Amino acid sequence: MRDIDNFYLEKEEPVKSCLLALRDSILNYNQSFEPVWKYRLPCFLYRNHIFCYLWVDKKTQHPYIAIGKGRDIDHPELIRGNRTFVKLLFIDPKKDLPIKTIHTIFDLAMGLYD
């Protein structure tokens, strides 16, 4: 099995289902996104650049989407923390995905690639 597949399948519920739903929603947002395993992370490339990646916070065990050009996006749901280039959108795995928020942030991010 590939490392990228193991990343999702080795997680416990409800985090596993949340990550799989996030993966599907990211891929459905733009057919040009390419899922890859890079830097030991499940990344999504757009025009050969990292658009976003998925990870799970060690303390809270909440999944998050890290937005590749997040530093250039101003949105109240994005958290910079101590990161230089990315901002994070934390997802509560016990709730429905905030698809509208995700798409709004992705729309802002897409404008940085044109």
Burial of 54: CB neighbours in 10 Å, binned 0-12, 13-18, 19+: buried
State in words which class domain 3-110 has. alpha beta
Residue 114 has pLDDT above 90, yes or no: no
Q: What is the mean pLDDT of residues 39-60?
A: 96
Q: What is the SS3 string spanning 42-96?
A: EEEEECCEEEEEEEECCCCCCEEEEECCHHHCCCCCCECCCCCCCEEEECCCCCC
Give the pLDDT confidence of 38-49 residue by residue, as tens digits.
999 999 999 999
CA distance 92 to 22: 11
Which residue, chain included where needed, has tokens 């830097």? 39
The band of 83, judged by pLDDT with boundaries at 50, 70 and 90, is: confident
